[in-house]
């Protein structure tokens, strides 16, 4: 894709547990971006998880560094950005991918601590990381911010009130970043994955017991999404081929119905 070669891309939630089978969404994003010629900053909660993805990027012929970060801690986020800039001199693309799921409970059954955890990681984390990266992008007058929301950013479902609220917030924040900084060379866009057949599903026969089975099978695609479909969509949004897409969150969800 145009414009990705030699770009420096920072991906939060880009790590992967060595004990897990298959690739995480974040890891696959990093590897696919590296295949396009980008230099990757892999950020995750632990150094081990970040390094596991760095190994995969290097095995694919790419260049990467791994950084441990807690996206809800402002000092940790600042240290991550400083390390990334020291390693590569700039950050061209930021992918805010770090996130956690909800408790799959209705509002009255959600503990305040659970609400705060999801809101912190899924929404505050996007705010803190973007706020730390933007100054270096604005100094150069160019940059792309990609926020990973969800199909839950536009619908309500059994995933839970805290997750639905946070992901709606990510879509609003994406629009605001575009509004605030689009005329200063910053392109902010989002991606809204549907239900994806992640590594946890690998080798399993898809049955009605799978998460969101009815909603997924009723959608036009009639199937779960593949991790590669999300990773390639991120590559497109990061590239110059998407240069006229500003402020919007692109659903990659098989046409999931809204309600």
What amino acid positions are annotated as catalytic residues? 163
In whole angstroms, what is the distance from residue 82 CA to residue 52 CA? 21
- Buried b or exposed e, range 184-216, using 16+ CB within 10 angstroms: eebbbbbbbbbbbbbbebeeeeeeeebebeebb
Q: Half-sphere exposure of residue 17, counting CA atoms within 13 Å on the CB side? A: 5
- Let me know: does 64 contact 26? Beta carbons within 8 Å: no
Question: DSSP labels for 45-103?
Answer: SSHHHHHHHHHHHHHTT-EEEEEE--TT-HHHHHHHHHHHHHHHS---EEEE-------
* Cα of 60 vs its chain's centroid, Å: 21
Q: Which helix (H) or strand (E) holds 191?
A: strand 186-193
- Let me know: does 146 contact 96? Beta carbons within 8 Å: yes
* Cα of 108 vs its chain's centroid, Å: 29
């Amino acid at each position: 894709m145009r414009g990705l070669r030699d770009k420096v891309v920072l991906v939060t939630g880009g790590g992967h547990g060595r004990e897990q089978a298959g690739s995480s969404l974040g890891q696959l994003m990093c590897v696919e971006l590296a295949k396009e010629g980008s230099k990757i900053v892999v950020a995750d909660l632990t150094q081990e998880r970040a390094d596991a993805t760095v190994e995969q990027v290097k095995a694919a012929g790419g260049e990467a560094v791994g950084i441990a970060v807690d996206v809800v801690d402002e000092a940790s986020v600042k240290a991550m950005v400083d390390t990334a800039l020291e390693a590569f001199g700039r950050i061209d693309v930021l992918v805010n991918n770090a996130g956690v799921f909800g408790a799959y409970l209705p509002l009255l059954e959600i503990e305040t601590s659970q609400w705060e955890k999801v809101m912190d990681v899924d929404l505050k984390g996007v705010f803190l990381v973007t706020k730390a990266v933007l100054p270096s992008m604005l100094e150069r007058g160019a940059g792309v911010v990609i926020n990973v929301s969800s199909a839950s950013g536009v619908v309500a479902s059994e995933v839970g009130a805290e997750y639905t609220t946070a992901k709606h917030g990510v879509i609003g924040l994406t629009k605001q970043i575009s509004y605030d900084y689009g005329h200063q060379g910053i392109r902010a866009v989002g991606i809204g994955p549907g239900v994806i057949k992640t590594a946890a599903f690998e080798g399993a026969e898809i049955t009605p017991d799978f998460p969101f089975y009815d909603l997924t099978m009723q959608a036009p695609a009639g199937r779960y999404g593949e991790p590669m479909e999300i990773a390639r969509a991120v590559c497109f949004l990061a590239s110059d081929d998407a240069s006229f897409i500003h402020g919007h969150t692109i659903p990659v969800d098989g046409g999931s119905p809204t309600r």
